[in-house]
Amino acid sequence: MNVVTPSPGRGIAALLHGGWRGHLLALLAGAILPLAYAPFDFIFLAVLAPALLFALWLQVSPRQALVRGYLFGVGMFGVGVSWVFVSMYENGGVGLAMSLFLTSVFVLFLSLFPAVLGYGLARLLPWPHPAAQRLKLLLLFPVGWVLWEWVRGWFFTGFPWLALGYSQIDGPLAGIAPVLGVYGVSLAAALSAGWLVLLLCGGWVWRSAAALGLAIVWGGAVALNNLSWVQPIGQPLKVSLLQGNIPQDLKWLWDLRDPTLELYTNLTRASWDSDLIVWPETAVPALYHEVADFFDSLAAEANQHGSALLMGVIYQEPNDGPYYNSVVSVGGATPRQFYHKRHLVPFTEYLPLEGVLGGLVKFMQVPMSDFSAGDNAAPLAVAGQRVGISICYEDAFGEETIEALPEATLLVNVTNDAWFGHSIAPQQHLQMARMRALEAGRPLLRATNTGLTAVMDERGRVLSQAPQFEVYALHDTVQPMQGLTPYGRFGNMPVVTAVLIIMVGGWLILRRVKPR
């Protein structure tokens, strides 16, 4: 007697095979995924939501897979990056209708990534054979997901927000980050999602393989959490991070320039017992050369007290040259140094395709929105340390952060999340900064205008944090570190190479499977 082994599609996926119910579930699955991230931190949803999408992609046509992937993306980005509306409407001077329109366009564009992934997997891997369906869940869906996360991280300058790995910073899978980075953690979560579906609706052999795989990945991640990849160097450093809490709509007003400088100067003078004092992004609301005397005076005070400062400022080259979003070192034994932001934010710090989109940036009303990009990632010598600098959005890119290694013994990020008001963006942004500290094996100091200002250790753990939307000077002590994590040495290359090999290998294997 012939025994037909049930395919995964005859379980959960078969119930969702066609019709509007499957499409609705895809939308809901995407909408709950952002709850896996800060500030909600239901980290299990980073496995459950993709698992539901993978089940919905089984045994459907390419068109259905595209629609479900797109609806998943609409839910995911519609909830997860809704703060884009806040930045435009509340702080960008854009009208309500235009803010809604531009936010919708942004969400709909990002939704193309899971849509194209679903379509591509269904088109290139159409085999309905039960073994083929299980291979998709075992490997191909998960590695395809991570491959598209990586593409989204660099395509059109990159938008790596809501990579699965970020949600796991406080979970067992975090131990993978120093080895394979955030995309390695994403891979573990995506594999877990595929294996969860197999565990629920595969044959006993496949269920056993899925259970074994889950035990290896999660057990291995826990074991990696116990390893130390870096070592202390020198004495602990006393630090102060200043949070001026200047509302975005007031930040660039001429009448408030002197009061703003006075506010930060008073916070600094109350922190002279620290080795390093950090001001937020563009904390100085003027061009560097316009207030050069102010920097000279503050440097003299810093030297008297044995302190050094890192200050956010806009620097313009002489003779009306290009200007940069910068950090300048003030005080200390070394000459004054600058770090110029290298990874600019499209449409706010610079305008891509300016000849085509020249009128669009006028809606944003961002002061000095034509920055030039810096080209040097070298750490600055400050307070006896080599400090790797990132400005705002740059801490979303792990491969750029590690360019300061191994020289950097400490990481500093300055940012201005006042753009995003009371939305979830500042919490998400802090979560990403924590991942950078964990990947690099370096403590990270994060000074922000309105929050979330925080001190993190080399494992990405928050040691102290300033209350949001308050004027505050956060004082703490950090231990500089040396050495290289595997991720610090190799970056994203191992994960990207692995997922490409698996995708090609899986496709070649499926070509040998006879459809039925």
Question: In the structure encoding, which two tokens stand for residue 264, read together?
Answer: 């930060």
493 and 126 in contact (C-beta within 8 Å)?
no
> E-assigned strands of 181-269?
231-232, 237-243
Would you name the residues annotated as active-site residues? 281, 341, 392
Dihedrals φ, ψ of 166, to 5°?
Answer: -60, -35
Q: Rounded to an integer, what distance in angstroms lies between the CA atom of residue 56 and that of residue 78?
A: 20
Question: In the structure encoding, which two tokens stand for residue 403, read together?
Answer: 């360019």
Question: In the structure encoding, which two tokens stand for residue 417, read together?
Answer: 């999340």
Structure-token match 């073994």, residue found: 131
Cα angle vertex 512, ends 507, 516, to 5°?
105
Determine the residue type at 347. F
Question: In the structure encoding, which two tokens stand for residue 510, read together?
Answer: 């499926």
**Which helix or strand (DSSP H or E) is residue 98 part of?**
helix 96-110
Cis peptide before 39 (omega within 30 of 0): yes
Q: Rounded to an integer, what distance in angstroms lies between the CA atom of residue 231 and that of residue 215?
A: 30
CB within 8 Å of 96: residues ≥ 6 apart: 89
Q: Angle at which helices 112-124 and 45-57 pack, to 10 degrees? A: 50
